[in-house]
Amino acid sequence: MGATPPRILITGKNGQLGWALARSFGANAEVHALDRNGLNLADTDAIRRCCREIKPTLILNAAAYTAVDRAEQEPELAMQINGQAPRVLAEEANRLDAAIIHYSTDYVFAGDATEAYLEDDPTAPQNIYGKTKLVGEQAVCEVADRFLVYRTSWVYAARRQNFLLTMLRLAMERDELRVVADQIGSPTWVETLADFTHAAVDAQGHLTIADGIYHVSANGRTSWHAFAEAIFAAIPDPRRTAKRVVPISTADFPTPAKRPAFSVLSNQKIEFATKRRVPDWQEQLAGCAADYAQNA
Ligand SMILES: NC(=O)c1ccc[n+]([C@@H]2O[C@H](COP(=O)([O-])OP(=O)(O)OC[C@H]3O[C@@H](n4cnc5c(N)ncnc54)[C@H](OP(=O)(O)O)[C@@H]3O)[C@@H](O)[C@H]2O)c1
């Protein structure tokens, strides 16, 4: 008889990451992927009930309140989902002797660095979303017996809602696009994040690398403006009406939530732990473009 496959609870099933994780782990695990109807992270009792019913051996917390600007108007709800729910999930994981992998963000940093951020660099979130995510990752680190926190950045996929799909849509509607050129970061294809999650879990659902925070974003750096131009080059479409991508500054495009100017994360720690190289953002974009073409 073979070993029992791990029982994995994935939150945020329809999100970019939840979707990719369910696909990536589905073949070799008993996956319970839940949307917010199946598990509402704003409801502490529901989290406890759900964990006690499913009894996962591994929890992948892919759900989050990700509406960065709206969070400025709904700080309590954002805090419940991003700050409190991870703590409850971590407590339940301990109760079940399970591990938890939680996801966090480059927005925990101030964004005024000039070198890629390391895991131990001081945090100083500049907006509500970042503050709530910081509370969540700290809770997991403090409470969970077995855990990983993956901080990532500028996540996109060929489905759902993200910068790449917004650019492709707007390029069909407008004559020119104006895109911020003075924010620097690393656009991360969600499949890379799913791959590196997979790489840290063995066939029994146990973590294969040491507990802690790890940065898992694309290697290399770019601006939103240069990323937009790269997207149009990677996914050509003769029907596009937009002929130019005009670089603008953050000051030209005010948003309710302040964004970090520089949020490049160093991937050295995860690369050393998994003995795998994280692909450059250009390579990741090519992967997503192929995925997009397949499903177009
Ligand atoms: N997207 C980025 O650029 C980015 C950057 C850095 C870090 N991250 C982090 O990466 C992780 C994955 O993000 P993502 O890009 O996959 O986000 P996403 O596509 O916005 O998905 C978030 C998921 O969370 C679910 N959700 C929201 N409120 C919920 C609630 N009360 N109860 C249960 N589920 C709820 C959403 O449900 P619905 O489908 O019903 O809306 C959605 O499925 C998150 O931890 C995020 O903070 C993301």
Tell whether ligand 1 has an atom less than 6 A from the beta carbon of residue 216: no
- When pLDDT is averaged across residues 70-92 and rounded to a whole number, the result is 98
Instruction: Express each pLDDT in 175-186 by its tens digit.
Output: 999 999 999 999
Judge whether residue 276 has pLDDT over 90: yes
Judge whether residue 38 has pLDDT over 90: yes
- When pLDDT is averaged across residues 39-63 and rounded to a whole number, the result is 98
- When pLDDT is averaged across residues 9-33 and rounded to a whole number, the result is 96
Question: Which of 155, 162, 183 maximizes ligand 1 atoms within 8 Å of its Cβ, making it the mutation to test the pocket?
Answer: 155
Q: Looking at ligand 1, which atom is closest to the CA of residue 157? A: 15
Q: What separation in Å is there between the alpha carbon of 3 and the centre of ligand 1? A: 32
What DSSP string describes the chain?
Answer: -PPPPPEEEEE-TTSHHHHHHHHHHHTTSEEEEE-TTT--TT-HHHHHHHHHHH--SEEEE------TTGGGT-HHHHHIIIIIHHHHHHHHHHHHT-EEEEEEEGGGS-S--SSPBPTTSPP---SHHHHHHHHHHHHHHHH-SSEEEEEE-SEE-SSSS-HHHHHHHHHHH-SEEEEE-S-EE--EEHHHHHHHHHTTB-TTS-B-S-SEEEE---BS-EEHHHHHHHHHHHS--TT----EEEEE-GGGS--SS---SB--B--HHHHHHHT-PPPBHHHHHHHHHHHHHHH-
Domains located in the chain, CATH noted: 7-161+188-219+264-280 (3.40.50.720)
Instruction: Express each pLDDT in 220-274 by its tens digit.
Output: 999 999 999 999 999 999 999 998 999 999 999 889 999 999 999 999 999 999 9
**pLDDT value at residue 295:** 82
Q: Which residues are marked as active site?
A: 129
Quote the mean pLDDT of the chain. 96
Judge whether residue 5 has pLDDT over 90: no
Tell whether ligand 1 has an atom less than 6 A from the beta carbon of residue 65: yes
**pLDDT value at residue 216:** 98
Judge whether residue 68 has pLDDT over 80: yes
**pLDDT value at residue 28:** 87
Instruction: Express each pLDDT in 103-133 by its tens digit.
Output: 999 999 999 999 999 999 999 999 999 999 9
Q: Looking at ligand 1, which atom is closest to the CA of residue 12? A: 43
CA-nearest residue, atom 39 of ligand 1: 14
CA-nearest residue, atom 8 of ligand 1: 105
Question: Which of 36, 76, 82 maximizes ligand 1 atoms within 8 Å of its Cβ, making it the mutation to test the pocket?
Answer: 36
Model confidence band, residue 2 (pLDDT cutoffs 50, 70, 90): low
CA-nearest residue, atom 4 of ligand 1: 155
Provide, rounded to the nearest whole percent, the portion of the chain with pLDDT above 90.
95
Judge whether residue 1 has pLDDT over 60: no
